[in-house]
Structure 1
Amino acid sequence: MEVAEVLPEFADAFAFEEFNRMQREALPALIEREDNVVASAPTASGKTALAELAICKALADGGTALFIAPMRALTNEKEDDWDRFEDLEYSVYVVTGERDLNPRRARRADILVMTPEKLDSATRKHDSRRYDFVTDVDVCVIDEVHLLDADRRGSVLEVTISRLRRLCDPRIVALSATMPNVDDVAAWLDAPPETTFEFGDEYRPVDLNAGVKTYTHGENTFADKYRRLYRALDLAEPHLREDGQALVFVASRQDTVQAAKKARDEIAERDVPMGARGDYDFHTDSKELENDTLRNSVLDGVAFHHAGLSKNDRDLVEKWFKEGRVELLFSTSTLAWGVNLPARCVVIRDTKLHDPLEGEVDMSPLDVLQMLGRAGRPGYDDVGYGWVVCDTAEADKYRRLLNEGKEIESRLAESLETHLNAEIAMGTIGDVEDVMSWLETTFYYVRGQSKPEEYDFPDLRGRVRDCLEELVDRGFVETSEDLSIEATPRGVLASKYYLRLETAVTFAELCDRVVDDRSGLETEEILEAVATATEFDSVSARQDERDAIDAVLVGADTRDLSPGQRKVLAILRGAASGNTPAELRSDAWVIRRNATRLVSALEAFLDRFVGPHAANLAQRTEARIENGVAEDAVGLTAIDGVGPGRASKLATEGLSTPGDVVTAGVAGLVDAGLSEGVAERVYEGAQSLPSVEVDWGSFPETIETGENDVCEVTVENVGEPARAGVRVTVNGVEMTSTSTYLREEETVPVGVFGADAEELEFTVSVAFPEEPLVPIEASRHVEVR
């Protein structure tokens, strides 16, 4: 059945000309009906085309399609793959981070691509102008719906789909690798039997011969890696000698590089006929690679692939593997979920991996099955070979997985309080009955009916009451006499900023302490509050990192912190100073990314419960972690076009604030080392920020003991309007504090009282909670006679 025959107007949207057997059988359900669809099929059998069929139907009907990709790396690949839709004049938009979001483009897009986490965040804010596009979806395609069974991420996907269905009730098309309980997923999504498909192994284009191979586990984990590598090469070698290809999955990006280096030497030692060093054209082509190690490696037929490589290098490796020029490829798990690169032999060398936030974790069963599914090249092989290399103690576990598959379970019970708080904060739940109605829309409810004892269903209502009581006790929810429930400001902020509830409690307690003690807030307290957040509970410090951590934290009192918390604090301190030790860099990127989100959340707590000055300090701390600039120069990062390098350069030249930049003018910026074009942009950017001048008026220089006077001080914003906090202190003690939207000028009453002190220092401080600008301060001294 030709694509052009079925969908003539979309023929160019597909990467092939004919549908295969599996696609033909599912096609009527996708094109001729409106029902929800659930399809389970082996890896490499062509599931992506089912997603594209559902999208084409939505576009033909004038609707908007949403594609949920299991991980962020794959959202970008879809954007590249679906240039074909762009060529047909349909727009594709990948929704990524908060700051990069273009709501106008998202609103106009025909195809939206998101991860479950991004969709969760967007649906929580669906009633804002920024995210209203998410309620205008006509079909939602869930790629790899068996992600429901993943730790933490599974519950996010589950509650988000249930929420989306309540918001706009799109058609749902859920696709998955083989799973035994596909009927449970169909029951959850209300897909009738006619549109529920379970395509078995007979639909695999190539038969799969999968098994488990063990190795002898030693005391040294470094040596164990090489034991597993040699085992993997033993399994791959026969296929490499027969001009087959092998794909070896390892735990980390660095492991792909090290394994490829070692494998080149071992392949040469074993005299396996591989490589293309005599191929002059390939030798020339390899010079296009940006990574030097990769360039040397590919000529021997060995390569590595991970998300940290440039797009150019990844594309070339994929192209050469498809062409057979690369015969042995080492990769991280991302490749198994995204690019369709089958190999005759697939070996999973590492079943455990290091997660910067979780420590050492087992690779998920879903990842294992996904990787093994890459074995066998359609059109080239009659059979594919897949092997899991593991310790003897775990062999039976993986044999059972290969023989029986993995039923998909709900993970909602593990984080029920967090998700329940989010629904209450959005206003979708108002009492206990609403909670029960909400639960009935979840996969958790479906699985609970299948396994009532395992899911504690005999006392589900009791579990719900316990959850609500917990939320009330911890300050997230309030109940009234009529038994209705609503979120507190703490509950709303926890939901808005995606916080674990324990972290939200910690942030609220810090706010309470600052208000009660009136002792101000220090940067170190912000860093420590974030470092001790439960989001980082599973971070561990390896032995080879401890000296570096101690060096960064020298002089700090960290006796109450665990080794993992000390590591996070060291990374945050290093990031803020722009000097992260080499030993900590492998985990620093992930920890920094999560930390900036947490600091942003703490900033909102401080703004709500303490005041603009405290929020401004958190804003500056966040900017320092992101940019690695000194405390006195952090305000420069508020200027469009000024990143860490430029900020440091200007600060070195004595320009450390946007005010300094405006005073210097374009000529001064050129003298500081900027080109004229850049200097003009930076100068304009600095002018677009708020800038304050303080006029003390007729403020006295002296006052008699026991006398008092009330003066008016004018705070004038000569820059762009912004929300500001104006604080007046006397000898360091706060007298007044107000929050205002400072457009032009604000008059601040200041009481001058003849006190016991010989001299009074009055300070007016203006802070902008939404900009990382250092507060602007002005002081006057009054002598008491």
Structure 2
Amino acid sequence: MKIDSLPLPISLRTKYSALGITELYPPQAECVDAGLFDRKNLLVAIPTASGKTLVAEMAMQKEIADGGKCLYIVPLKALAAEKYEDFSGKEVKVGIATGDPDQRDEYLGRYDIIVATSEKTDSLLRNRSEWLKRVSLLVVDEIHLIGDPSRGATLEMVIAKLRYQNPAMQIIGLSATMGNPEELAKWLDAGLITSEWRPVDLREGVYHNGAIHFHGAERIVPTPKKDDDLNLLLDTAAEGGQCLVFVSSRRSAEAYAKRAATVLKKKSAELDGYADRIAKADATPSGKVLANAVRNGAAFHHAGLPRAAREAVEEGFRKGDIQVIASTPTLAAGLNLPARRVLIRDYQRYEAGIGMNPIPVMEYRQMAGRAGRPRLDPYGEAVLIAKDRDAVDRLFEEFIDAPAENISSQCQKENELRNHLLALVATGFASTRAEVEGFMEKSFYASQKATHRRLDRNISKALAYLVQSGMITEEADGALWGTQFGVLASRLYLDPETASLLRETLEKQETFSAFGMLHLLCMTPDMFRFYLKASDERLVDQVFCERGDELWCEELSEEFFAAVKTALVAEAWCEEVPEDIICENFGVGAGDIHAVVENLRWLMHAAGRITHEFAPRFDAEVRNLEIRIENGVKEELLPLIALRGIGRVRARRLFDRGITTPEALLAADTREVVSILGNVLAKNVLEQAAKKTGKTTGFSSLPEEERNEVGPDAAPAEPKPQKTLFDFGE
């Protein structure tokens, strides 16, 4: 099927032609035949790299040409940024929404395509963003994540709410292979498109004893090294291909990259450039290991890296400069980074209370699907590494030949149901018990159950909790109302248990404790906690003994002590301890620090709103702590941080020169201020200080040539980082 024969805008067809896209792949053509341009709902469950994104883009461009508005939902912020770039520059207005969970973001309504995470979309629904009512085409990328334990319920409820609100809306679900696509298609009232076709042939096999065993064939691999994973890498490199190696842990990823660097020894100016970017972004020991590996053509990729370091690795790999990336499975589920050969070295994962367990088949398929770069590779290879001969047949049976698992709704979980039922009531989607039950009858969860008694029982239990916690009220006739507290918790995007814990704890405290507040936030269900290693136990025990009176939570548990460690990391950040020292002291990565900070910034903001309503005596202390977390500064820098353009680095420079307040800034030698801030920023900051204090700046007393001179540090004002919620765990 030719692109020129499709009802697409001429500008888009021209763009595709310039990219060499003139004809649809067979699965894409199936989508057109199934009603893609006739506003039919479709579930497209086809292999990675088979052109799902193009299907969505064509449908969105046609919808926009017909006057519609499109919402494209993704699971990860990094994927949102990637899709934003994909859709931009094609004669339509594209927006992106990933942060600020309690904002309506009405400005997004001016865009034709809005790319958003499922959590952000949920928060927009809770805050009643009017533009969502005008969405006429919904695309859900990675829709199989409805079955994901951590985010599946949110995705399911977002789809259900949008369908309820916009009954004429077209839905296109994009999915990897799953075991029960028919069930999901039925729930969506969608036509089902499945296919095994790929633009690049995928060969799946198991490596053992110098050969890759495929169905009915074998490939001999030279073995100059003693390690199988290195021999497979060198074999790929010898024929000009790139390699992705999936391992089970961050430590394993880093160790493999170090070993790979010693055998590749690939040198270039481009690699040095990526390494320099990484070294600048991450001064931790882990960052130094990564930079050194990249100089030799190898890299690792995991959530513990800061974003700038991950972006350098991704760019270097896409451009073909970096030969291999060793990664944890997060890379397979998100970014588009295909390679000639994919090695699944670790196909078991440790699970607490269970031990080592095989990874799901769907996860294996996600990894294997990264093999083969369209228009670059003649084929792709996905290779499992067997530890002995007996394992070869077993790996074929358990992964290569096994069907993907069925996905199931996650709305049966008690905490998820509480959260989403509160949102239904607080936002007016349901105002009676009967309406709540009626809404949930249309959920994917209800569609999977032969009997609904269990759902009714779970709904009753969740509503009872919300009534008892003061978040909703239920009248005798079954009417439901969100209380002020319940509406606030829902709009702040808090788990009801988090909101209740914050309110109850703050209300009973007589004095404020910054460390107690941090630990309290780290105890909530909405905060991830660092894993408590054996090496951490002495430190945590010591802190508990010496500072136990600062803590507000009294229930001793594994979560309690993990929260102590996490709070200590946050406190170190607020005390301006350098990142590399924090990483060394607590055994975490720079990306982990950033994740903690981002999560706590949101929770501190939410805690500030709850404090104002229920414990206003702590308003000032909570606000100060929020600013300290946001900027990573000691309390002594708060007066300077209050000036726009002054970040933690510049504030510390001023303070160390004895310039500690806006008043001191105005009283200081203007030349000294300019030497620290640069001319442009100094003028702006001095004007702010003058406005705060009612005094003059003294800036005009400088000679004309000095006032107009732009010094070496005269950079634009440091932007205040945008508050974000969903930056962690990517």
TM-score w.r.t. length of structure 1: 0.73
Question: What does 1:636-655 align with in structure 2 at a 5 Å threshold?
Answer: 636-655=640-659
Q: Give the counterpart of 1:261 among 236, 258, 262.
A: 258
- Structure 1 CA distance for aligned equivalents of residues 361 and 656 of structure 2: 53
Residue 498 of structure 2 is aligned with which of 492, 496, 503? 503
**Counterpart selection for 2:483 from 479, 488, 494:** 488
Deviation by residue 1:616-659 (Cα, 9 ceiling, x = unmatched): 32111111122222223324323211111122233334444445
**Shift in Å, 1:106:** 1.8
Alpha carbons of 1:534 and 1:4: their partners in 2 closer, same or farther (altered >3 Å)? Answer: same
Whether contact under 8 Å (1:620, 1:635) holds in the other structure is no
2:412 aligns to what SS in structure 1? helix
1:210 positional shift: 4.6
Selected match of 1:123 from 109, 122, 125:
125
Distance change (3 Å), C-alpha of 1:145 and 1:36: same
String of CA shifts for 1:723-775, please: whole Å, max 9, x gaps: xxxxxxxxxxxxxxxxxxxxxxxxxxxxxxxxxxxxxxxxxxxxxxxxxxxxx
Residue 672 of structure 2 corresponds to residue 674 of structure 1: no
Select which of 230, 234, 243 maps to 1:246. Answer: 243
**What pairs with 1:378-527 in structure 2 (closer than 5 Å)?**
378=374, 380-382=377-379, 384-387=381-384, 399-400=397-398, 402=400, 403-414=402-413, 415-449=416-450, 452=451, 457-514=452-509, 519-527=510-518
Question: Which residue, 562, 580, 585 being the options, matches 1:583?
Answer: 585
Q: Does 1:349 align with 2:345?
A: yes
2:127 aligned partner, one-letter code: K
Residue aligned with 2:38, SS: coil
Pairing 1:372–2:374 present: no
- Say which SS state the counterpart of residue 107 (structure 1) adopts: helix
- 1:303-354 Cα deviation digits (max 9, x unpaired): 4456745577345423443xxx654332344543445443343112345779
Is 1:58 the counterpart of 2:63 in the alignment? yes
**Partner amino acid, structure 2, of 1:185:** L
Task: Indicate whether 1:47 and 2:52 are aligned.
Answer: yes
How far 1:481 moved relative to its partner? 2.4
Q: Does the aligned pair in 1 maintain the 2:529–2:566 contact within 8 Å?
A: no
CA distance in 2, matches of 1:653, 1:646: 11
1:621 equivalent in alignment to 2:632: no
Query: Which amino acid is 2:338 matched to?
Result: P
* Partner of residue 75, structure 1: 80
Aligned positions, number: 638
Q: CA–CA distance in 2 between the matches of 1:161 and 1:327?
A: 40
Secondary structure of 2:481's counterpart equals: strand
CA contact (8 A) 1:260 1:302 kept: yes
Q: What is the match of residue 733 of structure 1?
A: none
3-state secondary structure, aligned to 2:139? strand
- Gap runs ≥5 in structure 2: 210-225, 280-288, 696-730
Q: Does the 8 Å CA contact 1:208/1:384 hold for their aligned counterparts?
A: yes
Aligned to 1:145: 143
Across the aligned residues of Structure 1 and Structure 2, the Cα RMSD in angstroms comes to 3.7
TM-score between both structures, scaled by the size of structure 2: 0.78
Equivalent-residue separation in structure 1 for 2:682 and 2:104 (angstroms): 27
Structure 1 residues 659 and 295 mapped into 2: Cα distance closer, same or farther (>3 Å)?
closer
Asked if structure 2 preserves the Cα contact closer than 8 Å seen for 1:144 and 1:177, the reply is yes
1:542 aligns with 2:533: yes
Deviates more, 1:60-69 or 1:14-23: 14-23
Alignment-derived partner of residue 324 in structure 2: 328
Task: Tell which deviates more after alignment, 5-14 or 135-144.
Answer: 5-14
Secondary structure of 1:556 counterpart: helix
1:168 match: 166
Q: Could you tell me how far 1:246 is from its partner in structure 2?
A: 2.7
Matches for 1:551-570 after TM superposition, within 5 Å: 555-557=546-548, 561=556, 562-570=560-568
Shift of 1:41: 0.4
Q: Provide the secondary structure at the position in 2 that maps to 1:616.
A: helix
8 Å CA contact retained: 2:102, 2:491: no
CA distance in 2, matches of 1:4, 1:506: 59
Letter in 1 for 2:686: Y
1:118-171, CA deviations, whole angstroms, 9 ceiling, x for partnerless residues?
Answer: 111111112xxxx43333322111111011111221111111111122233432
CA shift in 2, pair 1:240/1:652, >3 Å: closer
Structure with the greater relative contact order (CA < 8 A, sep ≥ 6): 1 or 2?
2
Distance 1:548 1:362, change over 3 A: farther
Moved more, 437-446 or 547-556: 547-556
Distance in 1 between the 2:491 and 2:672 partners?
A: 40
Q: Which stretch shows the higher mean deviation, 491-500 or 42-51?
A: 491-500
Q: Cα distance 1:386–1:84, how it changes in 2: closer, same or farther (>3 A)?
A: farther
Instruction: Looking at secondary structure, tell me which structure has more strand per residue.
Output: 1
The change in CA–CA distance for 1:295 and 1:469 in structure 2 (over 3 A counts) is closer
Shift of the alpha carbon at 1:493? 2.5
Aligned match for 2:111, one of 109, 113, 122: 109
**CA distance in structure 2 between the partners assigned to 1:417 and 1:624 by the alignment:** 32
Counterpart for residue 283 of structure 2: none
Change beyond 3 A, Cα 1:138–1:252? farther
- Alignment map for 1:588-607 (pairs within 5 Å): 588-607=593-612
The answer for unaligned runs of 5 or more in structure 1 is 215-228, 269-273, 278-282, 694-785
The residue type equivalent to 1:4 in the other structure is D
> Within 1, Cα distance between the matches of 2:496 and 2:2?
53
Residues 674-753 of structure 1 aligned to structure 2 (within 5 Å): 674-686=677-689
Q: 2:177–2:362: 8 Å Cα contact kept in structure 1? A: no
SS in 1 for 2:84: helix
- What is the rounded CA distance, in whole Å, between the counterparts of 1:97 and 1:144 in structure 2? 20
The aligned amino acid for 1:619 is R
More deviation, 646-655/16-25? 646-655
Q: Secondary structure at the match of 1:38?
A: strand
CA distance change for structure 1 residues 554 and 664 in 2, over 3 Å: closer, same or farther? farther
2:361 and 2:690 map into 1 onto residues whose CA distance is 55
Distance 1:679 1:318, change over 3 A: same
How far apart in 2 are the matches of 1:117 and 1:231? Answer: 41
Question: 329-338 or 463-472, which moves further after superposition?
Answer: 329-338
Partners of 2:642 and 2:108 in 1: how far apart?
26
- Shift of residue 588 of structure 1? 2.4
Deviation string, structure 1 residues 451-499 (Cα, Å, up to 9, x no partner): x5xxxx3333222222211221222221122221112233223212222
Structure 2 counterpart of 1:721 = none
Q: Distance in 1 between matches of 2:159 and 2:39?
A: 18
Q: Which amino acid aligns with 1:446?
A: S
Structure 1 347/383 Cα, relative in aligned 2: closer, same or farther at 3 Å?
closer
Please give the residue correspondences for 1:127-206 in structure 2 after superposition, counting only pairs within 5 Å. 131-169=129-167, 170-191=169-190, 195-199=191-195, 201-203=196-198, 205-206=200-201
Distance apart, 1:175 and its partner CA: 0.7
In structure 2, the CA distance between the partners of 1:253 and 1:460, relative to structure 1 (3 Å rule), is closer
Q: Is the deviation greater in 231-240 or in 576-585?
A: 231-240
Kept after mapping to 1: 8 A contact 2:76/2:334: no
User: Counterparts of 1:688 and 1:158 in 2: how far apart (Å)?
Assistant: 50
2:292 matches 1:288: no
Distance 1:632 1:304, change over 3 A: closer
AA partner of residue 614 (structure 1): F
CA distance in 1, matches of 2:166, 2:145: 23
Shift of 1:556: 0.9
CA distance in 2, matches of 1:11, 1:354: 48
SS at match of 1:629: coil
In 2, Cα distance between equivalents of 1:247 and 1:671: 49
Judge conservation of contact 2:271–2:296 (CA < 8 Å) in 1. Answer: no
2:386 touches 2:392 (CA, 8 Å); kept in 1? no
